[in-house]
Amino acid sequence: MTKPYVTGAAGACPAQLRQWFHGRRRELPWRVSVGADGLRDPYRTWVAEIMLQQTRVEAVVPYFEAFLAHFPTVDALASAPEDEVLAAWAGLGYYRRARHLQAAAQTVVAAGAFPITATEWQALPGIGPYTSAAIASLVSGERLPVVDGNVKRVVARLNGLELRRDAPALHRASEQAGSAWMKQLPTADLAAAGELNEALMELGATVCKARQALCGECPWQSSCTAFQEGNPHAYPLPPRKKEVVARRLQCLMIGAGKHWRVSQRQSGWNPGFFEPPLMQSGEEREQFEAAHALLPGRRLGEFSHAITNHRFRIEVWHYPSEGGEAVKATTDLALTTITRKALAIVQKSI
The number of C-alpha atoms within 13 Å of 238 and in the hemisphere containing its C-beta is 5
The strand pairing partners of 256, in sequence order, are 259
Of 27, 49, 65, 198, which residue is the catalytic one?
A: 49
Active site residue 198: no
Q: Active-site residues: which are they?
A: 49
